[in-house]
Chain A
Amino acid sequence: MDFAFSEEQELLRASARGYLAGRWPLTRVVETADGSPSFDAGPWKELADLGWLDSSLGMLEHAVLAEETGFGLLPAPWFSSIALAGPVLDDELRESVGAGERAVTLARDGEVTASGDALSGTKRFVSDLATVTDVVVSVDDCLYAVDLVAHPDVVVPLSTTDRTRRLGELRLDGTPARRLDVDPARLTDARRHSLALAACESVGIAQRALDLAAEHTKTRQQFGRVIGTYQGVSHKVADIYVALQLNRSLAYWAAWAVSEGDEQQDTAVAAAKASATDAAVFACESAIQVHGGIGFTWEHVLHRFYKRAQWLQSFAGVSRKHRARVADAILAS
């Protein structure tokens, strides 16, 4: 039994933390989030140079990066390209993503039909649709790629509470597409992958909420005392810590189970996704509470993390649905 990341994985974590803190201060995150969404080639190339888009990375490296991009609230389509679409890319797309030339998302929900190599129909709730260059579209049992640079009209951006990972609607109308030579069974991999990484990202958010809450309650004074000395406050902070640590364990377990193809992997990802996304929301809500009025403002960064946590919670089935899967697994005789 060994529950630790390798030295290389820890180095990756440290370098990710350093890069995000240096190049993506929260002021820049906010600026990007509030700007109009489009594919931003510069930062995407930086991620490629760091090796974050490399197809050689394994699930545990992805787990580390997902956690750190949650902690840093990176407003680039890493989750969509790597966690969501990563497992269903063909060689061509994988290479151009790895080189930082293209960013991809995956469109699942909705009805699209193929006629020859042209697609028609609508896919809804596609993450980062307006900030990627390509989208992989599932059509019955096949996968197609649509080039959004060549066909920008198919993208309908939606207004969303989380502006760091917006949703879009894909409206195809005889749009040319390239059929991917990819086994559609990989959609199942994509699902597991994205659930486990959503859990890891949630852990990063919960850690940030804890750090912000601790920082504030160590310094803010009321009634002549630092508010962190009031147990009504400090026990809330302790509870964030508890939720964070418990869910970090679940998220890493899920990532490990997927990386090993463990027999419990589907139950593990369902458990981790349900629990860790709930924990991230809980952590942000508690952090907002101990901040008082300032935590309720648009100006403070907390709501940005909160909204990402809510995004994750609603992604790919709310927690109740995942708990139902866990129940199916443990109550089957």
Chain B
Amino acid sequence: MDFRDTPEEAAFRAELRAWLASNLPSDWVDRAPHVGRFDVDEARAWSKRLYDAGYVGLTWPKEYGGGGAPHTHQGIYLEETARIGAPDHIGGIGLGMAGPTIIAWGSEEQKKRYLAPLLSGEEVWCQGFSEPGSGSDLAGARTRAELDGDEWVVNGQKVWSSWAHIADWCILVVRSDPDAEKHRGLSFLLVDMHSPGVELRPLKQITGDPEFNEIFFTDVRVPRESMLGQPGEGWNVAMTTLLHERGTLGFALTAALERQINNLIRLARLPGVDGHVPAEDPVVRDEIAQAWIDLQALRFTNYRSLTTLAKTGVPGPEGSVAKLHWSETNQRVTKLALSLQGLASQLDGDGAIWDGFWQYQQLRSRGNTIEAGTSEILRNIIAERVVGLPRSR
């Protein structure tokens, strides 16, 4: 047992720190957090720089533009970028979902075609899983794909599709065989979002930002070979997308929560309207300490799961608690941050602390227990697949 960097990890960390220091604007580090409406051009340019320096897809195979490095490097990358508050890569869904699924299921040709532009940020991906009639119950998807010659013809509707409005490609779960059993009638397509017949309607979220969308497919023609796995294997492919996350998701969540808690501490030190400094209030101190302990629990649980991954090739089962724990902790942390502001917490324009950063973060956190598997579904999975209780359905 040893949590320190190996010499090789330490060297990677040092080199990355130096790179970040010389590539980020100098006032970046100490600036207060801000709401930061997502700037597509900026994000694309930053992604390209990261890619050229070799920091994107650290754990992905070298032959497709990745770094071929161990998971710990990705962990160090996330720790260091969180510490300094560096901007995110533009292709979160590509890096976390589409890419790993293509690596696992794609043909040589597909990997060559899709992975490098995904890493460099030239092509952005979105995820078309959820539909109006099927969210948690993904296997109930009804969007149809029918083979016509050498093309699939897609008709239907997806919903809650994050970043679809900037996406070039979509991983799409479709029903290719309406007569087969629910799980066996699905297929997994890679769809060009610029195809004729793809229409988007942005959906405003609880924060007021339109970050997700409805996607309508009307006779959209998709080349027959733009499929991962065989027709009817869509369920298994989609499970890879959802399960992959366990690899490095834990690091990403830890880094995000660490950033949040550092900001919380910074906020708690500012005198409130009444002149009192929240960080001196014993009740506030108790809650901040609890949040910090929750962060360490997430961090070390992730280390534990990844140690098992490194030794056996399969992440430890304890990794299954990461997303559930992170989402609920993030909700508590952001609510605590608002509570430190009293009625000023109502401001989200002029006069709001840090331009309404916490107002945004708190509202956004409500989605954390819904997106990528609701907390109820995650508890079902833990109860049934990890603890081994009988199935509820």
Using a CB–CB distance below 8 Å, which chain A residues touch chain B?
Answer: 1-6, 60, 210, 214, 217-218, 226, 228-231, 234-235, 237-239, 241-242, 245-250, 252-253, 256, 268, 271, 274-275, 320, 323-324, 326-327, 330-331, 333
Contact = CB atoms under 8 A, between A and B. Distances in A.
A251 to B, nearest CB: 9
B390 A218 contact: yes
B113 to A, nearest CB: 35
A79 B79 CA distance: 37
Contacts of B380: 231, 234-235, 238
Contact of A324 (B282, B299, B321, B391): B282
A252 B75 CA distance: 20
Given A229-B392, A231-B380, A246-B325, A324 B286 contact: yes
B389 A249 contact: no
Most chain-A CB neighbours within 10 Å: which of B289, B307, B324, B389?
A: B289
B389 A218 contact: yes
Contacts of A2: 1-3, 307
A245 B286 CA distance: 22
Interface stretch (B85-93, B179-187, B290-298, B337-345): B290-298
Nearest to A4: B307
Interface string B296-313: 111111011011100100
SS of B interface (majority): helix
A237 B383 contact: yes
Interface residues of B, number: 51
B387 A241 contact: yes
Nearest to A217: B389
Given A2-B2, A248-B318, A249-B301, A323 B289 contact: yes
Nearest to A246: B297
12 contacts: A1-B6, A234-B380, A235-B379, A238-B379, A238-B383, A245-B318, A246-B298, A249-B303, A250-B300, A256-B3, A275-B297, A330-B289
B324 A1 contact: no
Contacts of B321: 241-242, 245-246
Contacts of B296: 249-250, 253, 268, 271
Interface in B213-271: 265, 268-269
A326 B293 contact: yes
A327 B286 contact: yes
